[in-house]
Each structure stands twice: as C-alpha cells, then as structure tokens.
Amino acid sequence: MTTNLMDGLRVHNAINLIESFNYPSGDPRGYVFIGKTTPWENDREPPVPRNDVEEMVEIHNQMLSLIRINDSDTFPLIRRKTWSQNVVYDYYRDDISYESPAYSGAITIKESNFYVINSRNDVFVCLDNNGNSLSVNEPLNNSGDPFMTADGYQWLLVYSLNTVLNTSYSTDNYIPVVSTYDPRTSGEINTVIIENKGSDYTDFPEGVGSRVRAYYCNVIGDGSGAVAKVHIDNTSVSKIEMVRRGVGYRHASLQFEVDKVYKSLYDLDNQINSLNPEGAGDLKTRVIISPLGGWRLNLPLQLLSTDVGVFTKLDYNTDDFVTDIEFRQIGILQDPVITITEDLGTLSAMFSARVIDSSDGEYLLGEEITQLNANGLAKGTITYFDKDDGVIYFYQDYEEHNEKGVLTPFSGTERVKGSVSGKFTNVDTTFSGKFESMTYIDGYAYPELIRYTGNILYLSNIRPVRRNTSRAEKLTIIFNY
C-alpha cells in the first residue's frame, strides 16, 4: 500500500491555524509574546530551541508581554514570484506529476512556476505559455477575464494587493493570498494547448467557395457549452481560442473532426453546413479545465498556499509592553488561562510593584533583586524600572531564584534591593488600583495569565532587541506546512 499526504491537507492545516487564533465569538485564543531579558551564552549566536518540556517552563518564566493575534493580522501566504522579462513560465495544469512534469521540471502544481505578481501588485496565473516561449510582455490587464499578451502568453488576474497588504503583510519572499474579485464559472475552459499542430489540414474545405481561416467546433466531455475556434495556417493548426468557455467540465476533449466543424457559430449552433478540415489525424491538444469550483473561488487551495504569516506591530506605547527593555525570544502562545476580563488585546506576564524611591541611583536591567519579607528571602530579576513613576517590573524563575528549594514571592513593605547596583526601594502597599495597564493590590501587580498554561506553537531565539520610544518593532512569523 502506498500513501501520500496531499497538498490539500497542508492547505487545510494552514487555514485551520489561522482560524484557531480567535474563537468564532471573537474572543482571543492566540498571542504573540516576547521574552527573555537575560543574555544568551553568546548573544551574537542564539541557541536553537530545544523543544522540550524544560525549555517550555523556562520560556514561561521569562515571558514578558503578549499581544493578541487579530484575524486581520494573519494570512495564507505564497512565494513572491515577481514577473520578469525573458523567463519561461509554466502554465496551469491539473495533471503535473513525476510522469508529466511542467516545463520548469516541477512535478507538482505547488512547485511549478505558474503565477506571478506584476509591478502593480496584481497576481496573475499563466494559462498558456505559447509553447514554452519566453515571456516578454508584462501582464497588466485587470479586467478579470483571461487575456493574451503580444508574446502569445495567456493570463488571468486572480487577486490584487493594495498598498497596506503589500507593505505591512508581505515580505521579500512571501505575499498574502486574499480574495478581491468574484469567482469565475466552475468547470469553465479557458485554454486548449496545442501539443502537436498536425498536418495536411485545408483552409479550402469542400462545399465552401472561399478560404476558411478558422473552424468552430464543440468541446465535448462531462460539461456543456464550450466552443473553440481553431485557426489553420499553412496546413497546420496555429492557434485555438475559446469563444465560449462552457460550464461544469472535469473531462473534456476537442471535437475537431470531419462533419463536426463549422465555418461560423451560427452554423454550429444550428448544426448546418458541417465541414471536413481533412488533416492527417496527427493533431494533439490538451484541454485545460479550471480548478474545482472555478478560478478565484478558493485561492489558498488553487495557489497551494501551505504557509501562514502572522504580522504584529509593537508601538513604543503599546499597553503592557514597556520601553527600555531587551528581549531575546519571540513566540506564539495559544489558549493561555487569562486572569483578567477586560483589555484582552495585550497581557503582561511580569510581576510589578509600585515603589517609594529610597536611595540614589537606579536598578540595572537584568540584575537580581532581593527582599527579605515575612515568608523568607524573595528573589527576582529586574526587567524594567521607572524612577519617575515609581514602578518596577520583574520576573521570578524557580531555577534562578529559589532559596534552598523554595521560590518565595515578593510581599509587604520591606525594601527591594539590587544585588549589583545596591539600589533599594520600599514597596508602597498603600497603593491599590490601576496604573498604566496593570491592576495593583496593596502595591503589587501579578501576571495577567496563569503561568505554564496554554500551548506554545512557535518560538524563535534571537539576538537582543531593545525597545525604545523612537521606533516600533514589526514582528513577522511564518509557518510552513
């Protein structure tokens, strides 16, 4: 028994991922997060993620902030294939295989070079490459119907990217797939490829007193209504045009034979004055049927979009994302247990305390802080300190901060001291309420999600990035299925 995972499953998984980031009700499920303020062993060469449970725990412990993945932030993607002059493009076929590869050598539709994006950010599929000729004329027609260019290529516009999609949701290598035009007819025929032009055809058939430059004939099969115009030049077939595209075909062939061809559409429609084009019987054609449902009905499947892009922008003033902080990890967390009920667009994964400044100097980013309180010795690592607002952010990691096997939480008014800077502050336990995006009780605020909940779908270890007020960070995450 031989089996193979179909491209349709890969596209299906990609679409399912996009749909999984939010509930049908609109409530969030997926978040992009940043984390890890502490240095790597070599910050210039971050380690490859280990993908084990111990690492998952470490990620949660050093998670800083999360931002919701909105439906408008995710897209199915395809490779960016910019139209270039003097390139031979593959034409769309539904039977590309190892036994019948495309001109480029591709053995699957996904691998074939059958679509392009032009200089106006319109995406076209190639329906005919004029017998594997060079593409010389850029496709620019945006009528939505199949059209020919002067080089003999046939193209069809499938969608267009506006400025926002092209700048904010595209990369050098990928473009999003969107629906911008109505679907075309299911089972229509736009193209008949000439594989062998045949010989000994006549343009002076018996019974006609003038030259017949082209014959009309039906396309037969399991659909209906398709009619082709077959041009004769120097006893061979030179071109085949579809004058009626028909509907409902999945199997089709050209009925170009004795007494089945006509001088005009009128004669064909009325089944009168049939002709004999003669010929040696060596004409070979391939009728190309549009994808299931018709072009533009399901573009991710038709263009084999097995990749997903998640695009997030962090402005300097994004809630729960503090400035003057370094991060070294980017990831996606799905289905965390959230402890707040409002403002779910962003979440803080850090601890925080409102403090009363009690000494000169400032805490150092990444230094360990300690507090001897009623429960024992609490330890943590500073991720942010704002002297003017009197607030510190920190995280606690069992491996880093346990004292004799116990991870003690910060609590009470006791002073918080920096182990390197010597800086100390006292917690203002008289403060309860909202400050910026976090809610404080008796001077302390806690992560807005329960640690270790949810599923980490993606992780990238990166060189350190420092957030500041002069720029925004654009985070792009690409999944490949």
11-36 pLDDT, tens digit per residue, is 999 999 999 999 999 999 999 999 99
Same domain, 284 and 256: yes
Is residue 193 located within the same domain as residue 265? yes
| pLDDT score for 319 | 86
Please state the domain count of the chain: 3
User: How far apart, in whole angstroms, are the C-alpha atoms of residue 209 and residue 6?
Assistant: 56
Q: How high is the pLDDT of residue 2?
A: 60
Residue range 231-252, pLDDT digits in tens:
999 999 999 999 999 999 999 9
Separation between Cα atoms, residue 304 and residue 114, nearest integer Å? 11
Output the pLDDT for position 5. Answer: 67
Task: Give the list of residues 6+ apart from residue 408 with CB closer than 8 angstroms, or none.
Answer: 373, 375, 376, 377, 378, 379
User: How far is Cα 301 from Cα 110, in angstroms, rounded to an integer?
Assistant: 10
Using DSSP's 3-state secondary structure scheme, residue 150 falls into: coil
344-384 pLDDT, tens digit per residue, is: 999 999 999 999 987 888 999 889 999 999 999 999 999 88
Same domain, 382 and 339: no
pLDDT in tens, 280-315: 999 999 999 999 999 999 999 999 999 999 999 998
| In the predicted structure, residue 432 carries a pLDDT above the cut 80 | yes
CB under 8 A, 24+ apart: contacts of 101-107: 103/129, 103/132
The pLDDT confidence band at residue 266, using thresholds 50, 70 and 90, is very high
In-domain check, residue 118: no
Residue 204 is predicted with a pLDDT of 92
Q: Verify that 464 and 342 share a domain, yes or no.
A: yes
Report d(CA 366, CA 210) in Å as an integer.
Answer: 91
Query: 372 vs 400, which has greater pLDDT?
Result: 372
**What is the arithmetic mean of pLDDT over 431-452?**
93
**Whether residue 334 sits in one domain with residue 454:** yes
Task: Work out the pLDDT band at 470, boundaries 50, 70, 90.
Answer: confident
- Which pairing describes strands 307-314 and 74-79: parallel, antiparallel, or unpaired? antiparallel
**What share of the chain has pLDDT > 70, as a percent?**
99
Residue 371 lies in a domain: yes
User: Residues 323, 412: one domain?
Assistant: no
pTM for this prediction: 0.89
Position 1 scores a pLDDT of 63
453 and 315 in a common domain? yes
What is the pLDDT, as a whole number, of residue 7? 85
Look up the CATH number of the domain holding residue 314. Answer: 2.60.340.10
Whether residues 309 and 253 share a domain: the answer is no
- Tell whether 332 and 364 lie within a shared domain: no
Q: Are residues 266 and 196 in the same domain?
A: yes
458 and 442 in a common domain? no
pLDDT in tens, 174-219: 999 999 999 999 999 999 999 999 999 999 999 888 899 999 999 9
Find out whether 31 and 336 touch, Cβ atoms under 8 Å. yes
Per-residue pLDDT, 3: 60
Domain-located, residue 137: no
pLDDT at 4: 65
Q: Are residues 403 and 285 in the same domain?
A: no
Range of the domain at 17: 1-76+170-177+301-349+447-481
Give the pLDDT band (50/70/90) at residue 399.
confident
